[in-house]
Amino acid sequence: MAGGLGLILRLARRELRGGLSGFRIFLASLALGVAAIAAVGTVSSAILTGLNRDARVLLGGDVDLRSIHVPVAPAARDFADAEGTLTEIINMRAMAARAGDADGRRALVELKAVANAYPLVGAVTLSPAGPLDGALAFRDGVDGAVIDRALAARLGLTLGDVLEVGDARFAVRAFIDKEPDRVVSFATFGPRLMVALPALSKTGLVRQGSLIYYHTRVALDPGVDLDRWLTDFAAKFPDHGWRLRSRSQAAPGFSEFISRLGLYLSLVGLTSLL
């Protein structure tokens, strides 16, 4: 028995001496795989933690009610208003053109109409700096608009230029540097154009057949429990048909992407161990 064990040890030692370079490669692969798995887990966890920490800002409140084609019912808005602060937002796509442009250039834009209370959480940063409601106000015979710099580059716009959207005209008052509730999305079709909610009706775009997203954002009062509020809302409006998101689902698409990417990279790390 002892002789057999000694033979095994001698063979193992001989094999180790003969294949030391291969054993080093094995150790390097093992270290690389373990490090990759640990790094992926740490980075993905940090990103998801950051999303959860800034969830209210990313969502624009504690709850978002979305309805397509028609606004959220007044009864639901009244329910939310009883324990929170509301703001209304309308999102749609539209074509925009620079007024008087001889080239006839047009651009598809993500048109966003906001009420005065927007945003409930966070702040829109503009250049030149100033309050959003002031930039969007009706002044000198024209409504205001703030735009992405990408739209300015596409249409050759500068501050003070006039945009035509549908039947309405908007003066470019500022550029958007930061829009707190604009989450990374792979379904963005154009740069942002933001106007005041009352001005949207002047475009003539709000009509039957238009793809319009109506949002009612809710920032709950201090001390109001979100889970209890959601339960009460579901009980009062069991068949509401609206899309309801809470701050725990502020960026579901991006969160799922990060989770899947982390899983994929972890599998890559595991393959290096084989």
Same structural domain for residues 93 and 31? no
pLDDT for the residue 205: 94
Same structural domain for residues 49 and 97? no
List the domain range (segments joined by +) for residue 16. Answer: 2-54+255-271
Same structural domain for residues 7 and 138? no
Same structural domain for residues 243 and 147? yes
Same structural domain for residues 227 and 261? no
pLDDT for the residue 35: 74
Same structural domain for residues 17 and 37? yes
Same structural domain for residues 35 and 155? no
Same structural domain for residues 38 and 101? no
CA–CA gap between residue 212 and residue 63 (Å, rounded): 19
Same structural domain for residues 196 and 245? yes
pLDDT for the residue 18: 58
pLDDT for the residue 147: 97
Domain total in the chain = 2
CA–CA gap between residue 239 and residue 246 (Å, rounded): 18
pLDDT for the residue 159: 96
pLDDT for the residue 208: 84
List the structure tokens of 64.
């978002």
CA–CA gap between residue 196 and residue 218 (Å, rounded): 19
pLDDT for the residue 57: 77
DSSP state of 139: B
Same structural domain for residues 162 and 260? no
Buried b or exposed e, range 203-216, using 16+ CB within 10 angstroms? bebeeeeeebebbb
Same structural domain for residues 26 and 104? no
pLDDT for the residue 39: 72
pLDDT for the residue 61: 86
pLDDT in tens, the chain (274 residues): 555 666 667 766 666 665 655 566 666 767 777 777 777 677 766 665 666 666 677 778 888 999 999 899 999 999 989 999 999 999 999 999 999 877 778 999 999 999 999 999 889 999 999 999 999 999 999 999 999 999 999 999 999 999 999 999 999 999 999 998 886 555 677 899 999 999 999 999 998 888 999 999 999 999 999 999 989 998 998 877 788 888 776 555 555 666 676 676 666 666 655 6
Same structural domain for residues 149 and 103? yes
